[in-house]
Copies of this chain bind each other. A is one copy, B any other.
Amino acid sequence: MLKIYGCYKSRATRVLWLTEELELAYEHVPVIQAGKLDNPLAADAPINTQSPAFLAVNPFGAIPALEDDGLVLFESLAITLYLAKQYGGEMGPKDLEEDALMMQWALFAATEIESNALKISRIAADGRLDSEAGKSEAAAAARLLKRPIAVLENHFAKNEFTVSDRFTVADINLAEIVRYAQPYAPLLDANPNLKAWLERCQSRPAFKTMWATRAAEK
């Protein structure tokens, strides 16, 4: 049986949203980041990225990780693309051109957007987005995102989806990375086509189920 390692409050959301879309059966192992624990190696510590039981599966100690019939995979975007190709039907690429574009957008999001978007997400998670200092840091991150976000705005001015004319794994990968910047409203307000696309993605029942489960996670 498919096993997915990684709690909901991690990049595992990408994978867990996709499994909802596909109604895939899997075992979920809610591994958490060791850095969130005072003593990750304590006998009563919850399973985490330093737990010997997890390292025996994934020596790299990274979440999310996937186990599928002998294949062990890390890197969340590689996991979603693999699952979509293996089990996803129309949610995955239907030819090599679509496959290439799905890789392109995954790499673009991971290298051009994710790190600055995560800065905004962390400021919001720390409850600092209403403070002057927090707002100013978020604005600085948003400025660094201006160019890649303009690329996406331009894309969604002309296209309804990330790749082709249907919702695919490429939308999940991109939406879950753009989501990190969502708490800083001026950025998406200035890019209405991107904002509308993100809202369409997040209105899907599978996203809502994943999101509610994430919110309920202890």
Q: Which residues of A come within 8 Å of B, CB atoms?
A: 59-60, 71, 73-75, 77-79, 81-82, 85-86, 96-97, 99-101, 103-104, 106-108, 110-111, 114, 151, 154
Q: Is the interface of A mostly helix, strand, loop or mixed?
A: helix
CA of A103 to CA of B74, assembled, Å: 10
Report whether B104 and A107 are in contact in the complex, using a CB–CB cutoff of 8 Å.
Answer: no
A151–B154 Cα distance when bound, in Å, is 38
Q: List 13 A-B contacts (CB under 8 A).
A: A74-B104, A75-B104, A75-B111, A78-B100, A78-B104, A81-B100, A82-B99, A85-B99, A85-B100, A86-B96, A107-B107, A107-B110, A111-B114
**Contacting residue for A60 out of B73, B74, B107, B151, CB 8 A:** B151
Output the least CB separation between A194 and chain B (Å): 15
For the complex formed, measure the closest distance between the CB of A1 and the CB atoms of chain B, giving whole angstroms. 17
Ranked 3 nearest A-B pairs via Cβ? A82-B100, A78-B103, A78-B104
Cα A108 to Cα B78 in complex, Å, equals 10
- Check if B101 sits within 8 Å of A73, measured CB to CB: yes
